[in-house]
Amino acid sequence: MKTRPFKQVDVFTDTPYLGNPLAVVLDGTGLSTGDMQHFAHWTNLSETTFLLPPTPEAAAAGADYQVRIFTTAYEMPFAGHPTLGSCHAWLQAGGQPKHPEFIVQQCPVGLVRIRHNTGPIAFAAPALTRRQPTPDTVASLTATLGLSPAQVLAAQYLNNGPSHFGLLMDSADTVQHVKPDAVALRSAMKATGISGIGLAAVDVPSTSSGLIKRSNRQARAFAGNPGTSADTAGAAVPTQTTQAQLTVRFFFDSGVTVLEDPVTGSFNASLAQWLIADGLAPRAYVAMQGSCLGRFGQVHLSQDANGQVWVGGDCVTCIDGSVSL
C-alpha cells in the first residue's frame, strides 16, 4: 500500500454537506482497475475518482490530467459532479492549467474543457445524442414512478456518455411527490437500456410553445429574505442565494437497486441541451436538486454564443488528508 493524497468534496453547493459528495484520490498511479473499483465500493459514495497523468496523446492535445470515475459497482465514461469535484481538488492541490482560460480533463468520453476563472467552475457539456421515445415507453416508465402520461409534457432518450431518460413534468409539485417502485423501475430501466431516469419541471414559460406556466412552489419556499428554511427532509438550508428555475430529481441503477442522486451533473447537462434546443427552457438558468434528500444542490446552466452548454456549480472540500491504498 501507498499513502496517497485524498479529499472528499461536496459538489454543487457552497455549504458543506448540502451537495453531492465525491471521494477524490489525487494520485491513482500504480492502481489497477480492480484496486480502484474495490476502493470505490468501500467508500460507498455514488462516485469515487482517481487522478492520473494524461496519456501522451491526450497531453499533446492539451489535457492537464486524466480522471477515472467509479460508482460502487462499475466505471463510468463521464459524470458531471465527479468532473467538477475532481477539478476543484486538483486546483486546490496545486494543479497548474496549461491553458489560461480552460482546464482540460481526459476521461473515457474524451477531452472535457472546464472554465475556472469566472463564477463557479463549469464544464463544457459533452456532445449529446437524443431521440424521441415511443408513447408505450413513456407510459411504462411513468407508471413505475406512480405517474400518468398526462403529467408528462415531453420525454427524450439522452446520451452524453451515460445513457439517461428525461421526463419534463407538468409541475414542480409533481416532481417533488414522485415515489418510485424501485424494483419495477429497475426492471423498466434495464428493458429500455438506460442507467438513469430524470424528472424536471420548468419554472418559467416556454419561449416557443407556452406550455410551461406553473410556478415552482419549492423554489419560492427557498427564496425571499435571508435566513433558513426547512426542506422536506428537515434539514436547514440557506434561502438567500437560490435562483432556481428548474426542479430536478434523478434516479439511477446502482448495480443493486435504484437510488436517488442528490445532484446530477451529467443529467443536468443533457437536460439543458435538450430543453434549450427545443425552446423549453431559457439559455441560462439554475436548477435545484436534492431537496427530497435533505440537500440543496444548485446547478448553473448556460449556452454560449457558439451553442456550447456549460454546467457549473460551487464546490467545497469537507475532508482533506491521505488514504492508504
**Three-class HEC string of 187-220:** HHHHHHCCCEEEEEEECCCCCCCCCCCCCCHHHH
Considering the domain delimited by 129-307, tell me its CATH architecture: Roll (3.10)
For 3-20, what is each residue's pLDDT tens digit?
999 999 999 999 999 999
Three-class DSSP category at 310: strand
Partnered with residue 25 across adjacent β-strands are 6, 50
pLDDT at 119: 83
Domain ranges of the chain: 3-124+313-324, 129-307
* Residue 47 known to be catalytic: yes
Confidence of residue 243 (pLDDT cuts 50, 70, 90): low
pLDDT at 212: 33
47, 57, 101, 260: the catalytic one is: 47
pLDDT at 38: 98
Cell of 146: 406512480
* Rounded Cα gap, residues 96 and 314, in angstroms: 19
Task: Collect all residues with Cβ–Cβ distance below 8 Å to 309 and sequence separation of at least 6.
Answer: 124, 125, 269, 272, 273, 276, 301, 302, 303
| 129-307 has the same fold as 3-124+313-324 | yes
Angle between helices 265-277 and 80-92 (to 10 degrees): 120
At residue 191, does pLDDT exceed 50?
A: yes
Q: Domain 3-124+313-324 class?
A: alpha beta
Helices (H), the chain: 33-43, 56-60, 80-92, 135-144, 172-176, 182-192, 217-222, 265-277
